[in-house]
């Protein structure tokens, strides 16, 4: 398995290409995840098929997949 398994888009790069299974895909070659204009992550949690970031504006942004669907796991306050 590559270092960055991405079959469900859990790396947040807008695709499902694995990272780390070819040359020049890790370190400086790995693109940053776009969280939104002027937003930063204050905390990050990763699951087997998804990733979530608590943003600097206190919103939660998640990507990838899960079972049950990720939308069913989010609590809106």
Read off the pLDDT of residues 1-43 as tens digits, 9 standing for 90 and up: 446 788 888 888 888 888 888 899 888 998 888 899 999 999 9
For every residue of the chain, DSSP letters joined together read --TB--TTSTT-SSS---BSSSTT-SGGGSPPP---TT--EEEEEE-SSEEEEEETTS-EEEEE--SS-HHHH----
Dump pLDDT digits (tens) for 32-51: 888 999 999 999 988 888 88
What pLDDT does residue 12 have? 83
22 and 31 Cβ atoms separated by less than 8 Å: no
């Amino acid at each position: 398995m590559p270092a960055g398994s991405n079959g469900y888009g859990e790396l947040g790069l807008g695709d499902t290409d694995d990272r780390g299974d070819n040359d020049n895909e890790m370190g400086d070659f790995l693109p940053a995840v776009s969280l939104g204009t002027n937003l930063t992550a204050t905390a990050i949690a990763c699951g087997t098929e998804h990733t979530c970031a608590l943003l600097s504006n206190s919103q939660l942004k998640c990507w990838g997949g899960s079972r049950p669907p990720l939308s069913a796991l989010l609590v809106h306050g």
